[in-house]
């Protein structure tokens, strides 16, 4: 199958990044969201990223324009047609994703592959919302998408070999490196990363150190490019909490219990960089 047109659902930080890299690799992209502000913000980020590439003389102005022309913003899923692949990057919530996949199953062509960028939810369960589980697959990009090389690829129980191969091949066309992992809560990336972030939050909660000190230890002591609390703010504290809850539910082990301070921040609307405040304050 020859993929030409890709529908990206969710124009948040992940969806905008995915739309950008798909358009930069020559695909036609529809960028859908339920919220006009998210679309505007997403398109603004893409503009900014591409302008930086022009400034650095990695893209010409004409190339930037043609990348932008390949992205069509959209607020009405029903109006989208002719899509070969959907990459869903809406919020990390099973009910939202199941409803979306049931709808996508009914409005897209029979040949359309339905991929999800979920960070932690079972692909098999998302696929069960459709009548085409063999065409449902996990395609887990990392944040920031234009920079990070990895895409974890996760098969659901029924995902066909053909679909796996198409997605693996597409990932390479996007200049990313595919790594196949099995369908377990948090896959590999977040099963390892999130407990570390949660532990960093416990370290602050228990008064062992300030957020600044925790991050400094991990950056200077372990050579992490960002401290775990800066990274949590960057990912979004709501997303971090959803992922911890999925790990806790999925494994039933208290070592995955979300730190109460993380819950408190999310309840306060301190979601990290995207809301202007998390463990640190952003302008």
What is the contact surface with ligand NAD in residues (CB under 6 A)? 9-15, 32-35, 38, 89-92, 96, 100, 117-119, 141, 143, 235-236, 239, 274
* Minimum distance of ligand CAA from residue 1's CB (angstroms): 27
Q: Which among 38, 120, 140, 198 is annotated as catalytic?
A: 140
* Minimum distance of ligand CAA from residue 187's CB (angstroms): 9
The span from the CA of 262 to the CA of 279, in Å, is: 9
Cβ closest to ligand NAD, residue 58 vs residue 282: 282
Among ligand CAA, ligand NAD, none, the one that 35 touches (CB under a kind-dependent 5 to 8 A) is ligand NAD
Q: Which among 152, 168, 206, 223 is annotated as catalytic?
A: 152
Q: Which of 77, 150, 138 is nearest to 113 (CA)?
A: 138
Pseudo-torsion of CA 106, 107, 110, 112, nearest 10°?
Answer: -120
Cβ burial 114-141 (10 Å sphere, 16+ → b, else e):
bbbbbbbbbbbbbbbbbebbbbbbbbbb
**3-state class (DSSP) for residue 155:** strand
Is 55 annotated as contributing to ligand binding? no
Among ligand CAA, ligand NAD, none, the one that 189 touches (CB under a kind-dependent 5 to 8 A) is ligand CAA
Cβ closest to ligand CAA, residue 103 vs residue 277: 277
- The DSSP 8-state label assigned to residue 133 in this structure reads G
Q: Catalytic: 248?
A: no
Is 65 annotated as contributing to ligand binding? no
CA distances from 192 to 113, 117, 187 (A): 29, 18, 9
Please state the φ and ψ torsions of residue 89, each to the nearest 5 degrees.
-135, 50
The span from the CA of 283 to the CA of 54, in Å, is: 25
Q: Which among 32, 74, 117, 119 is annotated as catalytic?
A: 119
The span from the CA of 234 to the CA of 193, in Å, is: 13
Is 13 annotated as contributing to ligand binding? yes
Is 274 annotated as contributing to ligand binding? yes
Is 255 annotated as contributing to ligand binding? no
**Burial of 143 per CB tally in 10 Å (0-12, 13-18, 19+):** middle
* Minimum distance of ligand CAA from residue 281's CB (angstroms): 18
The span from the CA of 150 to the CA of 203, in Å, is: 29
Q: Catalytic: 111?
A: no
Cβ closest to ligand NAD, residue 159 vs residue 239: 239
Is 143 annotated as contributing to ligand binding? yes
User: Which residue spans within 133-263 are E strands per DSSP?
Assistant: 136-141, 150-155, 177-181
Number of H helices, E strands in the chain: 11, 8
Question: What is the CA 249 to chain-centroid distance, rounded?
Answer: 21
* Minimum distance of ligand CAA from residue 65's CB (angstroms): 19
Among ligand CAA, ligand NAD, none, the one that 192 touches (CB under a kind-dependent 5 to 8 A) is none
Among ligand NAD, ligand CAA, none, the one that 147 touches (CB under a kind-dependent 5 to 8 A) is ligand CAA
Q: Catalytic: 99?
A: no
Q: Catalytic: 152?
A: yes
Is 33 annotated as contributing to ligand binding? yes
* Minimum distance of ligand CAA from residue 247's CB (angstroms): 12
Annotated binding-site members: 10-15, 33, 92, 97, 119, 143, 274
Looking at the annotation, which residues are catalytic?
A: 119, 140, 152, 190
Annotated binding-site members for NAD(+): 10-15, 33, 92, 97, 119, 143, 274
């Amino acid at each position: 199958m020859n993929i030409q047109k890709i529908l990206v659902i969710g124009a948040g930080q992940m969806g905008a990044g995915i739309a950008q890299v798909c358009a930069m690799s020559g695909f036609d992209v529809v960028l859908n969201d339920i919220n006009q502000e998210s679309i505007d913000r997403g398109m603004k980020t893409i503009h900014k990223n591409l302008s930086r590439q022009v400034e650095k003389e990695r893209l010409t102005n004409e190339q930037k324009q043609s990348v932008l022309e390949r992205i069509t913003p959209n607020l009405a899923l029903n109006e989208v047609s002719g899509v070969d692949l959907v990459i869903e990057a809406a919020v990390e919530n099973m009910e939202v994703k199941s409803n979306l996949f049931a709808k996508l199953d009914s409005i897209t062509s029979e040949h359309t592959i339905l991929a999800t960028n979920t960070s932690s939810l079972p692909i098999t369960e998302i696929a069960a919302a459709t009548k085409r589980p063999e065409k449902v697959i996990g395609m887990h990009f990392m944040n920031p998408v234009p920079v990070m090389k990895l895409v974890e690829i996760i098969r659901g129980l029924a995902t066909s070999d053909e679909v796996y191969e198409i997605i693996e091949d597409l990932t390479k066309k996007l200049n990313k490196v595919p790594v196949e992992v099995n369908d377990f809560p948090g896959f590999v990336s977040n099963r390892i990363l999130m407990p570390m972030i949660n532990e960093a939050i416990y370290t602050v909660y228990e008064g062992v150190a300030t957020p600044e000190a925790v991050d400094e230890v991990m950056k200077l002591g372990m050579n992490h490019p960002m401290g775990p609390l800066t990274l949590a703010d960057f990912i979004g504290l709501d997303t971090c909490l959803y992922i911890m809850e999925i790990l806790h539910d999925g494994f039933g082990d208290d070592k995955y219990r979300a730190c109460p301070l993380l819950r408190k921040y999310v309840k306060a609307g301190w979601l990290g960089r995207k809301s202007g405040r998390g463990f640190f304050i952003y302008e």
